[in-house]
Structures are given as structure tokens and as C-alpha cells.
Amino acid sequence: MNYVATIGEREVKVTVEEIGGSNYKVTLDGRDHVVDAHRVANRLWSVLYGVASFEVDVTPVPGDEFEVLINGDCHKFSLMNEQRRAMIRAGGKGAAGKAMVTSPMPGKVVKLLVKEGEEVQAGDGVIVVEAMKMENELKSALAGKVKEIFVKEGEVVESGAKLLLVE
């Protein structure tokens, strides 16, 4: 299977082929490697890269993004198979002009700093969400009008919950 990883501006092609046991033949930018990868817990892998042994924590983030942790280093990139990438490209989504503010963590809405219809600037604090005794002010990614507010003060929200929409 062919995958494309995007790291910043850089693109890397990765091909994965199962060759028996827990071994994979992996091609990275045209170079072949044999990798022995064991899933030892939900998102935790024990990887023998040649004979070099690594523990790798792979966390998928919505939007085909990944955060991969190896001994304190967090690698962030997007990765998807070639077909999926082609499909997304063909879809040509352009969501410019709209920004959904979502909760980055489970918590409680402490305060709404704006009302529907209010004008905001990019970087303006729009809502305060509290988790674990810390108040976190979330900001609007762009300038515009507050189109809709989906939550009330005091409401408990999940991670990723839609809070409000700026247009």
C-alpha cells in the first residue's frame, strides 16, 4: 500500500508491504527497509528498525494528522494512502472565511466572551473553557462575525465539541 506523508512543506512517499510475521517491507523515498513492528498496546509499537529498537507512540489526530512520540521527540505530520489523498484533492474543499472554534479538551464552559452577531478580530478571545482548575481562553482564528454559538455557560463539553462559529 502506498502512503504520502506531509511534514511541513515536505512530502515523503512510504510504501508498506506485509512480508510475514510482524515484518514489513517498507520503502521510504525509494529506499527499502525491513521493519519488525509489534503493537504492544493500543497505540504503542515496539519497532525493530534493522536491529535498532524503538518504542513508538502513534496518536492519530482528526484530519489524517499524526503525533508520533519517540523518546521525548514528538513528530507531527499528516499521512494518508494515495487514493484517499487523490479523493480529497478532487473534492477541492475551500473552507476559507469560516472558522469553527472547538474545545481542545473535555471541560466546562466558564464564560462566553462574545454574543452572536458580534464582530471579532483574529486572535480575540471568544470563550473560556475550564479543565482541571485552569481556565483556558480560546481565540478566534480569523476576523469576522460570530455566526452561531453552540454552547451555554456552565455546560460540560467533550474534546472537539463545536463551541462557536466565526464567519
Partner 1 sequence: MFEKILIANRGEIAVRVLRACKEMGIPTVAVFSEVDRRALHTRYADEAYCIGPPPARESYLVIDKIIGVAKASGAQAIHPGYGFLAENPLFADRCEREKIKLIGPSAYAMRTMGSKTLARKTVRAAGVPVVPGTVDPIASEEEVFRVAKEIGFPVMLKATAGGGGKGLRLVREEAELRSSLRMAKSEAKSAFSDDSVYIEKYIENPRHVEIQILGDQHGNYVHLCERECSIQRRHQKVIEESPSVIITPEIRAAMGKVAIEAARAVKYEGAGTCEFLVDRKRNFYFLEMNTRLQVEHPVTEMVTGVDIVKEQIRVAAGEPLGIRQEDVKQTGHAIECRVYAEDPEKNFIPCPGTVTSLRIPGGPGVRDDSGMYTGFEIPIYYDPIISKLVAWGRDRTEAIARMKRALAEYVVTGVKTTIPFHIRVMNNRHFIAGDFDTNFIDKVFFKEEETRELRNEEVALVTAAIQVYAEERNRAVAQRPGEAAGPVSMWKYSTRPGIRKIG
In the complex, what is the shortest distance from the CB of residue 161 to partner 1, in angstroms, rounded to a whole number? Answer: 13
- x-marked contacts with partner 1 along 68-97 as a string, rule CB under 8 A: xxxxxxxxxx-xxx----------------
In the complex, what is the shortest distance from the CB of residue 80 to partner 1, in angstroms, rounded to a whole number? Answer: 7
Residues 112-131 that bind partner 1 (CB under 8 A): 131
In the complex, what is the shortest distance from the CB of residue 165 to partner 1, in angstroms, rounded to a whole number? Answer: 21
Residue 9 engages partner 1 in binding (rule: CB under 8 A): no
DSSP per-residue letters across the chain = -EEEEEETTEEEEEEEEE-STTEEEEEETTEEEEEEEEEEETTEEEEEETTEEEEEEEEEETTTEEEEEETTEEEEEEEEEHHHHHHHHHHT---TT-EEEE-SSSEEEEEE---TT-EE-TT-EEEEEEETTEEEEEE-SS-EEEEEE---TT-EE-TT-EEEEE-
By the criterion CB under 8 A, which residues form the site for partner 1? 1, 3, 5, 7, 12, 14, 16, 18, 20-22, 24, 26, 28, 33, 35, 37, 39, 41-45, 47, 49, 52, 54-60, 66-77, 79-81, 104-108, 131-136, 156, 159
